[in-house]
Amino acid sequence: MSRALMPLRHDAVPGRIRARVRAGVRAVSDLLLPPLCLGCETRICDHDAVCPACWRRIDFIRPPLCDRLGFPMPYDTGGVMISALAAAEPPVYDRARAVAHHDGLMRELVHTFKFGDTHDARRLFGRWLTSAGADILQDADLIVPVPLNRFRLLSRRFNQAQILAAEVGRITGLPAEPLALTRHKATAHQVGLTRNERRRNVAGAFLVPPQRVARVAGKAIVLIDDVVTTGATVGAAAGALKKAGARRVDVLALALVCEANS
CB 218 within 8 A of CB 210: no
Residue 147 CB partners (closer than 8 Å, separation 6+): 153, 159, 161, 162, 178, 181, 182, 183, 206, 237
Residue 24 CB partners (closer than 8 Å, separation 6+): none
Residue 95 CA neighbour count, 13 Å, CB half? 20
CATH class of the domain whose range is 60-261: alpha beta
Q: What are the residue ranges spanned by the domains of the chain?
A: 60-261
Segments in the chain below pLDDT 50: 1-6, 8, 10, 31, 260-262
**Closest to 51 measured CA to CA, from 36, 63, 61:** 36
- pLDDT score recorded for residue 51: 97
Give the CA distances from residue 249 to residues 81, 124, 219, in Å, rounded to whole numbers and listed in that order: 19, 24, 8
7: number of Cβ within 10 Å:
7
- pLDDT score recorded for residue 191: 65
- pLDDT score recorded for residue 2: 45
- pLDDT score recorded for residue 73: 94
CB 138 within 8 A of CB 131: no
The pTM for the full model equals 0.84
Cα 220 from chain centroid (whole Å): 16
